[in-house]
Amino acid sequence: MNSEPSPPAAGQASKLIVAIANDKFAAEEAKVQFQINSKNDLPGLIDAVKEGNGYTSDYTFPSAGDYTITIHLMYPNDHFAFTKQLRVGEET
């Protein structure tokens, strides 16, 4: 998972990006969601849209700090979840 900009800043629009490296799963349609957790804010679950061999979602982080992002990839017969830590900077 990556973000644009990298790193994201609190209060500014960013894009969360996940690339699907497995050719079999990249060719299949999936429901993808980003689960966003931090110590400072309530958890959120946002839907992603397919772009090429990956999925993206626009998101504005409400505050600076460390976030845990869990990417849920839901296929008809499979569900995968991957977790990544992301540090969000101060508002500029």
pLDDT bucket at 86, cuts 50 / 70 / 90: very high
Q: pTM for the full model?
A: 0.90
Question: Residues 6 or more apart from 90 whose CB is under 8 A from it?
Answer: 9, 10, 64
pLDDT in tens, 28-82: 889 999 999 998 878 899 999 999 889 999 999 999 999 999 999 999 999 999 9
Give the C-alpha distances (Å, rounded to integers) separating 70 from 20, 23, 51, 54, 82. Answer: 15, 21, 19, 15, 5
What superfamily would CATH give domain 2-88? chitin-binding protein cbp21 (2.70.50.50)
Question: What is the rounded end-to-end Cα distance, in angstroms, of the chain?
Answer: 23
Domain chopping of the chain, boundaries:
2-88
